[in-house]
Chains A and B, each alone.
Chain A
Amino acid sequence: MTPAIAPPLLAIALEDVEKRYPNGTLANSGVSFTVAAGEIHALVGENGAGKSTVMKMLYGLERPTAGILRIHGRPVDFRHPGDAIAAGVGLVAQHLNLVPSLTVAENVVLGHEPRRAGGRLDRAAAAARVRALVEQSGLAVDPAATVASLPVGVRQRVEILKVLHRGARTLLLDEPTAVLTPPETATLFATLRQLAAAGRTILVITHKLDEVKALAGGVTVLCQGRVTGSARMAELDEGALSHLMVGGDLPPPPPRRTARTRPAPRVVARGLGYVDDDGAIRLRDVGFDVAPGEILGIAGVEGNGQDVLARLLSGAAIPGAGDARLDGRVFTGLSPRAVRAQGVAVVTEDRLHDGAAPTLSILDNLLATRYAHPPLSQRGLIDRGTARRWAQAVIDGFGVRAAGPHQPMGALSGGNMQKLILAREIADAPAFLVASQPTRGVDIAAASALHSRLAALRDQGAAILLISADLDELLALSDRIAVLYRGRIVARFAAGAVDAQTLGLHMTGLGPSVDGGDHDAVA
C-alpha cells in the first residue's frame, strides 16, 4: 500500500450480506456490521443464528450469495481459505487442527514451511521463526514441545501462532473458550487484548455474557440470520446487553434440590480404574455415591479421566478394576445395550461423533435408543407412524427449531441437536443419567432449557452424574462436586461450599488434596 493512501479505519465491513445455501436455507440475510482496526468485536446470538456462516464467509469457506465483504476497505471475493489468508485473515477454529505428534514449531509452520535444498524441512529455521513469533506476540509456548503433551489452552495458543505465522492481521475465533478452564480463559483474554493493542483486529464468537463484557469493544447480535443489534460496549449497561443477547429476559435458573435428608445412594461406584491400550493409567480408584434426586458434578480439565469415567459407566469400556452399581446391581462391564436396559442413559461428550448420526433424520436419531421396544416397534417391525408422531411431539415439547422429523440431524444447530439428544436419553425416565458436557457450544437460551430438563429429571428421582468443563454450570446445578485430576478424584465439595476459583486450583492440581479415600467425605 502506498503511503499516500491513509490506512482504512475499518478492518472488517459487511454490507447487506446474504447467504442462501443450495438447499434453500437462508443462513444470513441483510447482515451489515463493521469492525474497526484494532478492535475486539464479539459476534453473539443463539445457535443457528448464522454466526458461524459469517465466519466461514470471512474465511473463504463459503461465498455470500449477495452483498459485499470488505477487508480493510477493499471488497473481497474469497473463493477458498487461501484467498482469505492472502488478505491477512486467519481463523482459529473451534475444534483445533493440530498434529499431536509434531512439535509446536512444526505445527506452526505446517503448510508454510521454511525449506532447505531438496525441499526438506528446515527445522532450525522453523524453530527460530516460531521463537521470534512467540516473543513478538507474547504467546507463551515452548516451540520444541510436542503438541500431544500440551493442555488444550496451550494448544489453542499454538493455533493462534499458526494463524499469525501466516501473516494474519484479522483473527476470527469461533467459541475459543468452549474448551478452556477459567485460568486458561483469563490468559487467552490477556493474549487477545495484547494482539488488539498491537493493531490486530479480532472477531470472536461467544455465547457468554460475561465474556462479551470482559473482552469486547463492540458487539453484534445475530438472530435467525439477521442483525438484531450492534453496539459499542461503552454504550451498554449489563441489563441492556443481556436483553440484546437473549432477545428478552432469561428465565431464572432451575431451583436447587430442596430435600434436606439424603436418602440411600442409588448409584454406588467403588475403586473404578482403567488402563488404556498404551499402558497409561487413565482412571485410578474412583469412587462416589449418587442419591436419587441428586446431581453429582464432576469438574476437571479435559483429558483427566472424565471421558473414561463416562465410557465405563455407559458400557463403552470395561473397567480394569472396581465396579458401579445401580440400585444394588452391578452395571459396569456390560455391553452398552445391557447397561441401558438397567436404566442408565448417556449424553455423550462429542455429539457429532457418538451422540448422533448427522446424516440421518431427526426421527432416526430419536429412535436409536428406543426402536427395539413397543410402542415404536412390534415383532421387528418399526411403527413409523407412531415414531413420527412421537418425534414431532419431542420437537414441539423441547422447543426445537426444525422443519420436521425428517430433517437431517446435521442441519440443526448445536443447541437444537443437544435438546433432541437429551430428549431421547430421558424419554424412558432413566434411573441414572451420565451427562457429559451437556451444554457445550450451546447458546444461553438453549443451555438454560437443557438445565431445566436436567433439574426436572432430578426432581423425578433420577441420579445424575454431570461431567462438565463449564464451572458455572456445575456450580448452578450440582448438589455436590468432585474434581478429577490425572484420573483421580482429588477433591469433593458440597456445591454451596465452593467457588470457581477454588475448583480451578484443584483442577490444575494446585489445591491441597481433600480426598482421602474412595468414600464421599462431604455429605
Chain B
Amino acid sequence: MTPSREGARIALAVGAALALGFAVMACVSDHPWAAFRALLTGPLPSIERAADGRMVVHRLVRFGAWLQDATTLTLVGLAIAIPFRARQFSLGADGQLFMGALAAAAVSLGLGDTPTALPLAFLAAAAAGAGWGLVAGLLKTRFEANEIVTTLMLNVVAVQVYRLVVGRVLNDPTAGFITTPPLPEAATLAPLIARTTVTAMVLVAPAAVAAALFLLRRTTLGYEIDLAGANPWFAVRAGVPVARATALAFALSGAFAGLAGFHVSNALLKRLPVDLTPGIGLEGIVVALLARGRVGALPLAALGYAYLRVGAQAMERATDVPREVVLVIQALIILFVVSDRLAPLALGLMRRVRTNLGGRAA
C-alpha cells in the first residue's frame, strides 16, 4: 500500500475511533462536548492577550509533557520495531529502560559534576539496555527460548534489580523517601523550553530513528535482520548468519530502550525514585503497532499517541469524564488501525454507494 493511502487509512481509523469514543463520552458525561474539546486540545498551549496588552502563553507544561512523552515513546517504539523486523516479538523495552536508567544514574552519581558525566551516562544507558536486550536475544538463538516469555520475565528481574540498587546502594538517606540523590547538574539536561521538561532528548529521538533507519537500510547487519525476518529458512540456506543477526536485533532494540531510560533519569526526573512505574515500555508496542512496524513512521505515531495520553490527563482534570474512557478510545484506535481490511472495505463501500448514486442521477 502506498504511503498516502496508508495515511488516509490511518486517519480514517483514528476518526472512527474518536467518533465511537465520543459516543461513549456522551453516555457517561453531562458535558460531552466540553470533555471532547479538552481531550482534543488539552496538549496545546493557549496564547492569550494579557491585561497589559502583551501576548502570554499558557499551559506550556502540558505542551512540554506532550513532547517529552513522545520522546520516550519514540525510543521504546524503536525497541519494539527493530526486533519486529527480524520477526521477533520483544516485550522487553520496560526492563531495558529500567536498566538504562539505573546505569545512567549510577554513572552520573559516580562521576559527579564533571564534563564527561553526561556523555558517559548516555553511553552507559545505551550499553546497559543493549546488554539486557542481548540476554533475551541469546536465550532465543542459543536455547530457542520463546522471546515473549523471556523478555517479560527479564522485565520482572530488571525492575527488581532496579529497586534493590536504588533502595540499598544508591539510596539518599536525607530525602525522606526512597530515592537516589539528585543527579549532579553537569550530568543532567537543561530544559529547552522554560517551565517544561523538554530537553535536547526531543532531538535525540528523531536522530535515533534516523540512525536506526540507516542501520537497517544501508548496513549488512540491517540487511541480515530484514532477511532473517522475511524468510529465516531462506536466509540460513543463503549463508546469512541468522542467529547473530537476531541476537543483535535484540541488543540494538535494548540500546534504544536504554536511551529512553537515560531520558527518564537524566532529563525528566533528575533522580530515580524506587517506585518508578513500569509499563511505559509496553506502550512502545502500541506505538510500533500504530506505525505498522515502520521505523520511519515511529516519531509520528509517538506524537499522535502521546497527544492522546496528555489530552486524556487534561480531560480527566477538567471534566467529569474518567480517564478510563480515554483508555477505551486508545484501545479502539489500535483496533481500527491494525484491522487491515477494515478501511479498504469502508472506502470500497463508500465508492460503491457513490457510483450507485451517480448512476441513478445520470
Residues of A within 8 A of B (CB): 314-316, 335-337, 339-341, 346, 348, 353-360, 364, 367-369, 371-372, 377, 380-382, 384
Contacts and interface: CB of A to CB of B under 8 A. Distances in A.
A93 B294 CA distance: 35
Contact of B241 (A337, A348, A359, A377): A337
Contacts of A382: 218-220, 223
B230 A357 contact: yes
Given A360-B226, A360-B230, A364-B226, A372 B237 contact: no
Given A356-B231, A369-B239, A382-B219, 8 more contacts: A316-B237, A336-B236, A357-B235, A360-B226, A368-B234, A377-B220, A382-B223, A384-B218
Interface residues of B, number: 19
CB-based closest 10 A-B pairs = A337-B239, A368-B238, A357-B230, A357-B231, A354-B233, A340-B239, A354-B237, A336-B239, A354-B234, A360-B230
B221 interface: yes
A364 B223 contact: yes
A368 B240 contact: yes
Interface in B240-265: 240-241
Nearest to A310: B237
Interface in B261-315: none
B333 interface: no
A368 B235 contact: yes
Nearest to B222: A382
Nearest to A23: B1
Interface of B: 217-221, 223, 226-227, 230-231, 233-241
Contact of B218 (A341, A354, A369, A381): A381
B241 to A, nearest CB: 7
Contacts of B231: 354, 356-360
Nearest to B236: A336
B304 to A, nearest CB: 27
Contact of A368 (B219, B221, B227): B227
Contacts of A340: 238-239
A122 to B, nearest CB: 37
A369 B238 contact: yes
Contacts of B235: 357, 368
Given A340-B239, A364-B227, A357 B234 contact: yes
Contact of A355 (B218, B227, B234, B240): B234
A359 B230 contact: yes
A372 B218 contact: no
A346 B234 contact: no
Given A354-B231, A357-B235, A359-B230, A367 B223 contact: yes
B234 A356 contact: yes
A346 B239 CA distance: 11
A369 B227 CA distance: 11
A381 B219 contact: yes
Q: Chain A CB within 10 Å — which of B217, B221, B227, B241 has the most?
A: B227
Nearest to A346: B237
Contacts of A348: 234, 237
Contacts of A359: 230-231
Contacts of B226: 360, 364
Contact of A381 (B220, B230, B237): B220
A339 B238 CA distance: 10
A339 B235 CA distance: 14
A372 to B, nearest CB: 6
17 contacts: A314-B237, A316-B236, A341-B239, A353-B233, A357-B235, A360-B230, A364-B223, A364-B226, A364-B227, A368-B234, A371-B220, A371-B223, A380-B221, A382-B219, A382-B220, A384-B217, A384-B218
A315 B238 CA distance: 10
Contacts of A358: 231
Given A340-B239, A364-B226, A372 B234 contact: no
A367 B219 CA distance: 12
B142 to A, nearest CB: 15
Contacts of A315: 239
A353 B239 contact: no
B234 A353 contact: yes
B70 to A, nearest CB: 30
Nearest to B224: A371
A356 to B, nearest CB: 6
B234 A380 contact: no
Nearest to B344: A22
A85 B170 CA distance: 71
Nearest to B237: A354
A425 to B, nearest CB: 9
B238 A336 contact: yes
A337 B227 CA distance: 15
Contact of A380 (B219, B230, B237): B219
Contacts of A346: 237
Contacts of A384: 217-218
Q: Chain A CB within 10 Å — which of B217, B219, B231, B239 has the most?
A: B239
A146 B233 CA distance: 29
A355 B231 CA distance: 9
Contacts of B217: 384
Contacts of B234: 348, 353-357, 368
Contacts of B230: 357, 359-360, 364
B346 to A, nearest CB: 15
Nearest to A376: B220
A357 B240 CA distance: 13
Nearest to A383: B218
A357 B228 CA distance: 9
Contacts of A372: 220
Contacts of B219: 380-382
Q: Chain A CB within 10 Å — which of B221, B233, B237, B238 has the most?
A: B238
B200 to A, nearest CB: 28
A359 B218 CA distance: 18
A297 B16 CA distance: 61
B26 to A, nearest CB: 37
Contacts of B223: 364, 367, 371, 382
Contacts of A364: 223, 226-227, 230
B87 to A, nearest CB: 11
